[in-house]
Chains A and B, each alone.
Chain A
Amino acid sequence: AQSVAQPEDQVNVAEGNPLTVKCTYSVSGNPYLFWYVQYPNRGLQFLLKYITGDNLVKGSYGFEAEFNKSQTSFHLKKPSALVSDSALYFCAVRDGYNQGGKLIFGQGTELSVKP
């Protein structure tokens, strides 16, 4: 069965510092990995995805994520955090072996960026 874990409920970062939001996954085939962001009282917005190819994926708002197959991780990163990045971040995985597989989400990590 596929699953995804976000080990941190909350991440606190000072503005201007680099940020990392962690995600690990488990699938039986090749993973399709996604990051979404949710601002208060809004739906989820797509940030970036990894399907195949280069392990470093660049997405919206200056975010990037690194796929690490050996560690089954897909951590979200940004070199310099902004206060406006404060939101709830979700990692999601779909099993690429099964095209009908479910898109499974982690429990979310709340990112707080302080001035």
Chain B
Amino acid sequence: ETGVTQTPRHLVMGMTNKKSLKCEQHLGHNAMYWYKQSAKKPLELMFVYNFKEQTENNSVPSRFSPECPNSSHLFLHLHTLQPEDSALYLCASSQGRGEVEAFFGQGTRLTVV
């Protein structure tokens, strides 16, 4: 275990549904991230939060809405997704953003039908 927990592990949703992914870290880190992992593609950085403030949004469609209520929790709210949004969504955290490594959760496997 890395100290970063993601729920649910698997999620199947219709294109009209609204769902949320949850990430919790018990490491005392101050930075949290959402990544998207699709088959045969590099990990895509979606959002970055530092001390609960969003510092990066890599041109992510508005159907993905992040929320960071505190430094330990990160959510990704999903609505009106498309089938191409099916992927593994990974949460990570780190203490700062310089030379430190990030710790990853096990991911949520999302399937949009």
Report how many residues on chain A are interfacial, defined by Cβ distance under 8 Å. Answer: 25
- Tell me how many residue pairs across A and B have CB atoms closer than 8 Å: 60
- A105, CB-defined interface residue at 8 Å: yes
Report how many residues on chain B are interfacial, defined by Cβ distance under 8 Å. Answer: 27
- Cβ B97 vs Cβ A100 within 8 A: yes
Give A44 to B105 CA distance when docked, in angstroms: 7
Q: Which of B2, B33, B48, B55 contacts A45 (CB 8 A)?
A: B2
- B66, CB-defined interface residue at 8 Å: no
- Cβ B98 vs Cβ A96 within 8 A: yes
Cβ distance B94 to chain A, nearest Cβ, rounded Å: 8
Q: Which of A9, A46, A49 contacts B103 (CB 8 A)?
A: A46
Which B residues lie within 8 Å of A34 (CB)?
Answer: 101
Cβ distance A59 to chain B, nearest Cβ, rounded Å: 10
- Cβ B99 vs Cβ A32 within 8 A: yes
Instruction: Give 9 nearest A-B pairs by CB, closest first.
Output: A43-B104, A105-B43, A44-B104, A107-B42, A51-B99, A43-B106, A46-B101, A99-B98, A32-B99
Chain A residues with a Cβ under 8 A of chain B: 9, 32, 34, 36, 41-46, 49, 51, 90, 94, 96, 99-108
